[in-house]
Structure 1
Amino acid sequence: MSNLFETIVKGGPTMIPMVGLSIATIACGLERSWFWFRLMSQEERVVHDVMEAARFDLSKAAEIASQAQDLAIGRFLLAPLKLKQPTPETFRLALEAAADREFVQMRKGDKLLESVVGIAPLLGLLGTVTGLIATFASLKIGGGGTSADTTKAAAGIGEALITTAAGMIVAIISLSIFRVMVTLQSRQIDYFSSVGSDLELIYREIWYEPTFHHMTQPNHGDYSTASNVRLLDS
């Protein structure tokens, strides 16, 4: 730890914001790792339970989804299930609106990581320039330099190399986390789309279309009675 602190000090003033960016990157990575771990380790179970319940009792399915409101998939599934006898169009709209809200939450941290990827190398370059300036300022053209001048020049070169390496390391770590997050987001978009389509299909086939067909079916008993009355009158 002491060696790390000494290295940071040798890196010069530009290492201060570099350390801040690295802390922000690590904190974002840990928070997002916990978010994705919780979601991906439990969503299959939640989806299975909700889908099975939706085939027999929509209120039971909504209850199961409400118990998973700390997960994105739970909030996504509950959005259409809590509606009162919606049309298929309204059911789909509720799914799409909930998906949009959850995708915004999934992209949390993307802007920070993108900023770090762009800023960290520039800070490293700035540290390189300031280190070289200090190096050339310590050199005495034409000889006559002392050991103290040599030490200052070496310190300037060290500052330039340290900040360059630090900027590259922070940017690489940030970019790696960002790419993993983008991959997970893309997979979740496809998964939510598939789950939403399956839930909508269950609602249409089991709950909406049979009810709609029953409501629109003509009353054959009344029709037969009316026909018999007309035959008797004739």
Structure 2
Amino acid sequence: MSTTLFEAAAKGGLMMFPMAALSVATLACTLDRAVFWAGLYKNEDQIAHRILEAARYSLADANQLAKEAGAQPIARFMQASLKLVNPSPESFRLAMETASEQEFEKMGKGNKLLETAVALAPLIGLLGTVTGLMHTFSGLDMGGPGGADTSKAAEGIGEALTATAAGMIVAIIAMVILRVCVSFESQQLSYFATIGGELELIYRELWYEPRMVEQAKAIASLERNYEDDRALVDQ
């Protein structure tokens, strides 16, 4: 089987060398993305909800949980806001938005390579076919017996088309992998938005707003004491 594949590749001519390099790069990128996404989906939801539950009772504990699970993008995303000290809701949200941009940049790693493979592989294959046809026709003896030359030309054309077929195969595989990765990224975008919204709501309702109420009460108490002191002085 391997001999047959090697022989088929050899028929594609010199353009099969860059095609092989592009194939290896695509395969390496595929393996890297497979490991990344498998690790990401392993405990993501469990970690996110543990942090959310902890945030209801202690932001410090939630921050510690997120820090311990720092290998997970969702944990780093949540910790970006949890590690802040008494932030405003706007700062809390901005920290998550900035972290999400950084995480999605990491999730998109390899997409450029796959896009390059999708665009470049068919062109390399076409170039291999063109050069193969040029080589085939240049070797024909136009004045010789027609039967031998026709058979030779048919064989040469078949070999030249190998490069185009190889280019299409590499491009199709790269396209499928790219679409799968983009689909995963789209799912994560929605998931991050959901978790981020829940975390922000917890912070607003359980921590920020009660703190503002306490501060308002403290200010009102100080104002009353000030007014009482002034009244005593006036007397």
Q: One fold, TM greater than 0.5?
A: yes
Q: Decide whether the 8 Å contact of 1:134 with 1:152 is kept in 2.
A: no
**1:188-215 CA distances to partner (integer Å, 9 max, x unpaired)?**
1111111111101101110111011111
Match of 2:181 in 1: 181
Q: Sequence identity of aligned pairs in percent?
A: 51
Match of 1:164 in 2: 164
Match of 1:133 in 2: 134
Match of 1:92 in 2: 93
Paired with 1:91 and 1:75, the residues of 2 have a C-alpha distance of 14
Paired with 1:230 and 1:59, the residues of 2 have a C-alpha distance of 44
Moved over 4 A (4+): 149-152, 218-222, 224-227
Offset at 1:41?
Answer: 2.1
Paired with 2:63 and 2:227, the residues of 1 have a C-alpha distance of 45
Structure 2 residue runs of 5 or longer lacking an equivalent are: none
Secondary structure in structure 2 of the residue aligned to 1:139: coil
Offset at 1:4?
Answer: 1.3
Match of 2:64 in 1: 63
Match of 1:52 in 2: 53
Offset at 1:223?
Answer: 3.9
Secondary structure in structure 1 of the residue aligned to 2:71: coil
Distance 1:142 1:61, change over 3 A: same
Paired with 1:46 and 1:152, the residues of 2 have a C-alpha distance of 65
The alignment's TM-score, normalised by the length of structure 2, stands at 0.90
Paired with 1:143 and 1:221, the residues of 2 have a C-alpha distance of 111
Paired with 1:24 and 1:206, the residues of 2 have a C-alpha distance of 50
Paired with 1:80 and 1:225, the residues of 2 have a C-alpha distance of 37
Match of 1:33 in 2: 34
Q: What amino acid maps onto 1:183 in structure 2?
A: S
Q: CA RMSD in A?
A: 2.4
Q: What amino acid maps onto 2:96 in structure 1?
A: L
Q: Decide whether the 8 Å contact of 1:127 with 1:159 is kept in 2.
A: no
Offset at 1:156?
Answer: 2.4
Q: Decide whether the 8 Å contact of 2:8 with 2:162 is kept in 1.
A: yes
Offset at 1:152?
Answer: 5.3
Match of 1:17 in 2: 18
